[in-house]
Amino acid sequence: MFLHGTSRINDRGHLEIGGCDTVDLQAQFGTPLYVVDEQLVRQRCREYTEAFKASGLKFQVAYASKAFCVMAMCRLAEEEGLSLDVVSDGELYTALQAGFPADRIHFHGNNKTPDEIEMALDARIGCFVVDNEIELRMLQAIAARKEQRVKILLRVTPGVEAHTHEYISTGQTDSKFGFDIGNGSAYEAVKLAASQPNLELLGLHSHIGSQIFEVEGFQMAIQRVAEFSRTVKEGLSVTFSVINLGGGFGIRYVEGETPLHVSQYVQAITDAVKLHFEGIAPELPEIWVEPGRSIVGDAGTTLYTVGTSKDIPDVRKYVAVDGGMTDNPRPALYESKYEALLANRANEPVEETVSIAGKCCESGDMLIWDVELPKVDSGDLLAVSCTGAYNYSMASNYNRIRKPAVVFVKDGVGQLVVRRESLEDIVRHDVVPERINKQTVLS
Ligand SMILES: *Cc1c(COP(=O)(O)O)cnc(C)c1O
């Protein structure tokens, strides 16, 4: 397993993260346990802000909270000077409860409900990223009733889609998100938005994909958005002060993956903005980006205790851990790959190839196919790296398995930031109607 951030193997042959021995974390907090390397999260935040400062452009780096949204993480993003993207009332509530400054919160989503819009307006958040015409009209109406003027971006699809090493130039008409530039709906949306008395149109938003390893997709999107900005300026006399280029910056999950350094993505973006936006408006637009995975992904490690195993001669050996698709659904959802090591015997030589299974009643509940480890025994501590993004935030209670605790580790101290769910939590929202509440008495 590649050792990210402050992860290292200590004198006891144990995996250590943030100065904390993971075997001690297992004893203190139990497993499964999400461990977040706080210093690495802060480092990633700073890589973004420093790269943008070097560009000389005005900017905001908004952490896409959906990757890992808990109050402590919102605090951390706020301390590092980031803005915050939310997509639901639940994420917004989390951010507000954490004291995140409302004016640095951006509200995303393709189906914001009237209640969510009300809540966000009452909180006076910084910006709505408007996805469609129904939302645009609803936002105008609610803002008018509340006598507020609201800053908005319009989400557009620039006709570029990027996944890891491929970027595809598409008609992009077939997306649930945003206004299409190619078919003219984005132009109509700008015209409509600019005429709404309670909406202040700051600019455009484009998000081309996720886990992107190259800069070409961003450069292409910037070129298309700039061309569109020029068209809109000429046709409607509307100029944009903000261009939001979304997130999607890749990270290294497993050997062989070679994402760029954060500064390389940022420099490619700012250079392309300088090139393509020159002369459209008196000033270059402010650039916003929205990294999620690349802020928290490689800072997370999940610790599991090994339980049973099943060795099928000449086929494979399954090793089961005390979590699985409930705490990490990504392998089941996307066939995502992960690396692992035996955290309590990290120096021992590789002896067998095993597959790591979860404990759910579901054959698809596999975390890793074929990982090389020392001989694995019941009670061993297994660490799976790069689980900081889209793990806790996608966790479920399937099989009524309790969601794990989350700890932030730094300078030898493990700090609980999310408590492990209790069995009482599991039935907390259950209601048994009176008519089926008659106890059967066995005599
Ligand atoms: C998911 C998402 C992001 C974050 O994507 P990452 O791949 O985690 O960086 C940013 N912006 C929008 C609009 C998104 O939907």
Active site residues: 361
Rg of the chain taking only CA atoms, in angstroms: 24
Distance 254 CA to ligand 1 centre (A): 21
Residues 6+ apart with CB under 8 A from 380: 305, 306, 342, 344, 345
* Amino acid found at 40: L
Residues 6+ apart with CB under 8 A from 302: 32, 33, 34, 35, 323, 327, 328, 383, 384, 387, 391, 404
Q: Look at residues 297, 373, 368, 374 and name the one whose alpha carbon lies nearest to residue 335.
A: 368
What's the CA gap between 65 and 90, in Å, rounded? Answer: 11
**How does pLDDT run across 161-202, given as a tens digit for each residue?**
887 777 666 546 678 889 999 999 999 999 999 999 999 999
User: Domain boundaries in the chain?
Assistant: 8-37+297-427, 108-291
Distance 54 CA to ligand 1 centre (A): 23
Fold of 8-37+297-427: Lyase, Ornithine Decarboxylase; Chain A, domain 1 (2.40.37)
Please state whether 296 falls in left (phi above 0), alpha (psi between -120 and 50) or beta.
alpha
Question: Residues enclosing ligand 1, CB less than 6 A?
Answer: 64, 66-67, 108, 207, 210, 246-249, 290-294, 389
Model pTM score? 0.96
Q: Which of 288, 290, 293, 393 to mutate to test the pocket of ligand 1 (most atoms within 8 A of CB)?
A: 290
Print burial letters for 232-259: b (CB count within 10 Å at least 16), e (below 16).
beeeeebbbebbbbbbbbbbbbeeebeb
Distance 388 CA to ligand 1 centre (A): 14
Number of residues assigned to the chain: 443
Question: Residue with the nearest Cα to atom 2 of ligand 1?
Answer: 247
Sheet of 15-17: strands edge to edge?
8-9, 15-17, 20-21
Q: Give me the pLDDT at residue 439, please.
A: 72
Q: Give me the pLDDT at residue 109, please.
A: 96
Residues 6+ apart with CB under 8 A from 440: none
H-helix or E-strand containing 347? none
The per-residue pLDDT string of the chain (443 residues; one tens digit each, 9 = 90 and over) reads 999 999 999 999 999 999 999 999 999 999 999 999 999 999 999 999 999 999 999 999 999 999 999 999 999 999 999 999 999 999 999 999 999 999 999 999 999 999 999 999 999 999 999 999 999 999 999 999 999 999 999 999 998 888 777 766 654 667 888 999 999 999 999 999 999 999 999 999 999 999 999 999 999 999 999 999 999 999 999 999 999 999 999 999 999 999 999 999 999 999 999 999 999 999 999 999 999 999 999 999 999 999 999 999 999 999 999 999 999 999 999 999 999 999 999 999 999 999 999 999 999 999 999 999 999 999 999 999 999 999 999 999 999 999 999 999 999 999 999 999 999 999 999 999 988 887 766 66
Instruction: Give me the DSSP letters along 211-274.
Output: EE--SHHHHHHHHHHHHHHHHHHHHH----SEEE----B----STT--PPPHHHHHHHHHHHHH
What's the CA gap between 209 and 211, in Å, rounded? Answer: 7
Q: How many helices (H) and strands (E) does the chain have?
A: 12, 24
- Whether cis (ω within 30° of 0) applies to the bond prior to 32 is yes
The answer regarding whether domain 108-291 maps to CATH 3.20.20.10 reads yes
Q: Give me the pLDDT at residue 438, please.
A: 74
Q: Give me the pLDDT at residue 40, please.
A: 98
Shared fold status for 8-37+297-427 and 108-291: no
Q: Give me the pLDDT at residue 165, please.
A: 72
3 state DSSP class of 83: strand
Structure tokens at 271: 């250079």
